[in-house]
Amino acid sequence: MHREATDASSQPPPSPARARSARILTGGAIGLLLALAGLAGFVRDFSKDFHWHLAVGGEILARHAIYRVDTFSHTMLGRPMFVSSWLGDLLLAAAYAAGGYAGCYALRAACMGALFFLLLREMIRRGLSVTTTVALLLFLLAWQLFFFYLRPELFALLAFAALLHWLGEQERGRATRPPWAALGLIVLWANLHGSVGVGVLAFCLFSVERGAIALRGRGRWWGYLALPPLAFAAACVNPEGIGLPLAFRVLSPTWVAHTMEWAPLPIAGDPTLQLAGLVVAVSTIAAGRRASPWRAVLVLLLALMTLRYQRFLRYTLIAAAPLLAGNLAALASRLEGTARARRWRLASGALAALLAASALSTLFFERRLLAQVGTGMDRGVYPEAACRFARDHRPRGRMFNSYDFGSYLMFCLPGEPVWIDQRA
């Protein structure tokens, strides 16, 4: 063992030319990732939820007040609305007012770039190499390309990545004081989107772990243990108060049963998901005590939520990426100073290159990314011709429409209440 350590540590430093080539490679890899993340922000919308957020946000802009009473449907006219994303709606409407659909896509591109930059930074800060991090995030982007919908949830995903990075910096800095300022991010999230409970969960797990560590070291443990109730209180600073972090109470079982993103995750038929889950689980077990306990518990709880409601998959993947980075870095550090370290670097580099090539192939050939981007709507998804006919001929009577088209009809036929829409 002593001979192996001596051989590994006696390797000469890289030449200036080689070091410069490495910097160019890593800089190019980061630039490619962020450019593709931004380009993905211009994938044409097809989610069918987008337009009701525009309509509600437009009312907020016009009235300078939160939109709380329904005027968009004749079946619920005058009844109070559950306000879960007023600030997100406002941001989308402001982007549309500034630049139309292109403005909304530009806003999503900025959010996507920031989201992947924060994940990149957090994973590198946890010890993973730049090239491996970029390869993993390219894989994530290619896999979930069509699920970063143009709606307020995207702001929540960005807030989640920012919170994880914030807590990670607190953890690495060995700060003795709790991250009180991060409570402001919880307040912001509570007004951007109703998924703020995910952030509260992460905050609570982090606080309990750091409080236990502080208690063993006779530090300020009471401050950390005060954070969970304060985080929940921060999540209640929104128009619905305590109703927002407890929003699951308003979900109708019938509605959940007929809405795909609230359906259970079909993991049995998704080998990519199975492999990803296996890699995260095995690496966490192999890392042992060097794995982050609060991150591991967070990923486990989010994974259980995702199995029941598949819309939490993006949150689970965002939480799992830094956990996996730390696990892989811990495994690599065990080999430092041994002859196996070089073989590990070669194998991990080859796997990263293979993963990146697979992700790029998926993006450009299977997903056809360049054919999907644009600054308008996805043709054939919305009843644009029907809307033009209704605007030109003004049919008499009340509107009767399908559920899937309600959101778009709210937007394209202002002043004509719909029968049903995606807010139902």
- Residues 332/344, Cβ–Cβ less than 8 Å: yes
What count of Cα atoms within 13 Å lies in the side-chain half-sphere of residue 155? 23
Nearest Cα to Cα of residue 279 among 332, 335, 321: 321
Phi, psi of 6 (to 5 degrees): -65, -40
Coil, strand or helix: which one is 262? helix
CB neighbour class for 368 (10 Å; exposed up to 12, middle 13-18, buried from 19): exposed
DSSP state, 80?
B
Nearest Cα to Cα of residue 323 among 168, 151, 96, 104: 168
Give me the count of residues in the chain: 424
Q: Tens digits of per-residue pLDDT, 87-100?
A: 999 999 999 999 99
Average pLDDT over residues 233-257: 82
Q: Is the pTM of this model over 0.85?
A: yes
CB neighbour class for 88 (10 Å; exposed up to 12, middle 13-18, buried from 19): buried
Type of residue numbered 45: D
Q: Tens digits of per-residue pLDDT, 106-149?
A: 999 999 999 999 999 999 999 999 999 999 999 999 999 999 99
* Tokens 């830094």 -> residue: 322
Residue 174's pLDDT is 63
Handedness of CA 125, 126, 128, 132 (dihedral sign): negative
- Residues 205/160, Cβ–Cβ less than 8 Å: no
Alpha-carbon radius of gyration of the chain: 24
Composition of the chain by helix, strand, coil, percent to 5 = 70, 0, 30
At 177, the pLDDT band (50, 70, 90 cuts) reads confident
Return left, alpha or beta for 423; rule: phi > 0 is left, psi -120 to 50 is alpha, else beta.
alpha
At 6, the pLDDT band (50, 70, 90 cuts) reads very low
Average pLDDT over residues 185-196: 96
Instruction: Give the CA distances from residue 185 to residues 167, 209, 287, 412, in Å, rounded to whole numbers and listed in that order.
Output: 12, 20, 31, 34
* Tokens 């987008």 -> residue: 50
Residue 5's pLDDT is 39
Coil, strand or helix: which one is 282? helix
Type of residue numbered 413: L
Cβ-Cβ contacts under 8 Å for 168 (sequence gap 6 or more): 122, 125, 126, 322
For residue 26, count other CB atoms closer than 10 A to its CB: 16
Q: Tens digits of per-residue pLDDT, 303-360?
A: 999 998 999 999 999 999 999 999 999 998 887 767 777 777 888 889 999 999 999 9
Coil, strand or helix: which one is 10? coil
Q: Tens digits of per-residue pLDDT, 207-220?
A: 999 888 888 876 67
Residue 246's pLDDT is 84
> Angle formed by the axes of helices 313-334 and 293-308, to 10°?
150
At 1, the pLDDT band (50, 70, 90 cuts) reads very low
Instruction: Give the CA distances from residue 182 to residues 11, 104, 160, 225, 301, in Å, rounded to whole numbers and listed in that order.
Output: 44, 27, 11, 15, 22
Q: Could you give the CA distance from residue 91 to residue 96 in angstroms, rounded to a whole number?
A: 9
- Residues 324/280, Cβ–Cβ less than 8 Å: yes
Share of residues in the chain with pLDDT > 70 (%): 93
Joined together, the tokens standing for residue 283 give: 């690496």
